[in-house]
Copies of this chain bind each other. A is one copy, B any other.
């Protein structure tokens, strides 16, 4: 049986109250006593019971991280970022992986983190109003990535800006027929990121005076395979795009695969730009919009620490910048296209040629 605080108290010849204070480094304990307690604890190899401690104090030393897919590159990176700063502050991570819809529902029906966590971090999950309220009703600080929950801390990238940059990059290269492979639009829960990006895509095209063509939007589901089929769909159009914006690198990889299998090359036949700057993007020489992934996790964790220490008054909100990374899969549109010799108008000034362009 493990030693309890009473054993330590007895051995150090003080009360349990003093042991508790000494062990936690609280003031009003004489140096001599503190040492005696420390020694006693050491000798008994005593460790506080986290549950007893939580029960008595109300603190748990634990932060819940709620996300859709731990096994996707993006989320695992963010979790690593979160972990690095939380761990440094002796906070444990309780993981809730809600990708599966059943699991998602069950989670909100039972609310397992209730009274189990000091704070919550929510990654990119689309939540109904009721669900958001459930979380808020837990009355712990919440930091949210990507989405928005009233009264919570926020970290996100500027999706509209990132998308605009990507699409403008293509326009600047002279492309007029620009496809988009978008993600997760099918999920009934309604992830917001894809919606924002789709909207930005349409807006930029409109601003450039390019007519809207619904055929140029193909749904992927953020996976390589679905990106591949989406690309196949786009390329089978009577008037296929000369450039494609995939809203995740993974889908761009799929798109490149499809092209490869059809004997097409980027950027000669079709330009492709992704989003994320996935570690494999460099490998495949994919032009993309980079976002600092782990860093966003660190920010979220830092917000939680701030909230927990009560040092800051109001929930803050930070938007981290994205940047265009120009690599080899995007290039100038061919001036004269075989099928449509009618639209050879040159695009605006071309992009700089530096391989990596800060936005």
Contact A79 B70, beta carbon cutoff 8 Å: yes
- Is the pair A70, B76 in contact by a Cβ cutoff of 8 Å? yes
Are B47's CB and A55's CB within 8 A?
no
Tell me the smallest distance from the CB of A255 to a CB of chain B, in Å: 11
User: Of B50, B77, B90, B94, which is within 8 A of A115 by CB?
Assistant: B50
Instruction: State which residues 123-181 of A face B: CB under 8 Å.
Output: none
User: Nearest Cβ distance between residue A108 and chain B, in whole angstroms?
Assistant: 13
Given contacts A50-B116, A92-B116, contact A71 B294 (CB under 8 A): yes
Q: Within the complex, what minimum Cβ distance (angstroms) separates A93 from chain B?
A: 5
Residues of B within 8 A of A283 (CB): 224, 253-254, 256-257, 284
Assess whether A112 is interfacial by the CB under 8 Å rule.
yes
Asked whether A71 and B80 contact (CB < 8 A) given A50-B116, A116-B92, the answer is yes
Residue on B nearest A100 in the bound complex, by CB? B84
- CB nearest neighbor in B for A81: B71
A340-356 Cβ-contact flags toward B at 8 Å (1 or 0): 00000000000000000
Chain B residue with the shortest CB-CB distance to A253: B283
Query: Does A210 reach chain B (CB closer than 8 Å)?
Result: no
Least CB separation from A62: chain B residue? B94
Of the candidates B76, B114, B115, the one whose C-beta lies within 8 Å of that of A76 is: B76
Closest residue to A77 on the B side, CB-wise?
Answer: B71
Contact B60 A71 (CB under 8 A): no
For A103, give the chain B residue with the smallest CB separation. B87
Chain A, residues 92-122, CB within 8 Å of chain B (1/0): the string is 1111110010010000001110111000000
Is residue A2 within 8 Å, beta carbon to beta carbon, of the partner chain?
yes
Residue of B nearest to A83 (CB): B97
A212 part of interface (Cβ distance < 8 Å): no
Please tell me if the beta carbons of A79 and B71 are within 8 angstroms of each other in the complex: yes
The reply to whether B87 and A80 contact each other, CB–CB distance below 8 Å, is no
Decide if B87 touches A97 in the complex (CB within 8 Å). Answer: yes
Chain B residues with CB under 8 A of A95: 65, 79, 83, 92-95
How many monomers of this protein are in the complex? 2
A114 to chain B, nearest CB (A): 5
Q: Do residues B70 and A80 form an inter-chain contact, with CB atoms below 8 A?
A: yes
Q: Contact at B280–A47, with CB atoms within 8 Å?
A: no
- Is A237 an interface position by the 8 A CB rule? no
Q: Is A26 an interface residue (CB 8 A)?
A: no
Q: Is A43 an interface residue (CB 8 A)?
A: no
Whether A312 sits at the interface, judged by CB under 8 Å, is: no
A69 to chain B: which residues have CB within 8 Å?
Answer: 80
- A282 neighbours in B (Cβ, 8 Å): 224
Give the chain B neighbours of A280 by CB distance below 8 A.
224, 253, 280
Q: Is A279 an interface residue (CB 8 A)?
A: yes
Chain A positions within 8 Å of B, measured between CB atoms, are 2, 47, 49-52, 54-55, 60, 62, 65, 69-73, 75-77, 79-80, 83-84, 87, 90, 92-97, 100, 103, 110-112, 114-116, 224, 253-254, 256-257, 279-280, 282-284, 294
With A2-B115, A49-B55 given, name 17 new contacts (CB 8 A).
A51-B51, A51-B55, A51-B60, A52-B55, A55-B55, A70-B70, A70-B80, A72-B76, A73-B73, A76-B76, A80-B97, A92-B112, A92-B116, A94-B94, A224-B279, A224-B282, A280-B280
Write 13 A-B pairs (CB below 8 A) sorted by A numbering.
A2-B115, A49-B55, A49-B115, A52-B55, A70-B76, A75-B76, A79-B95, A90-B110, A92-B95, A92-B112, A92-B116, A254-B283, A257-B283
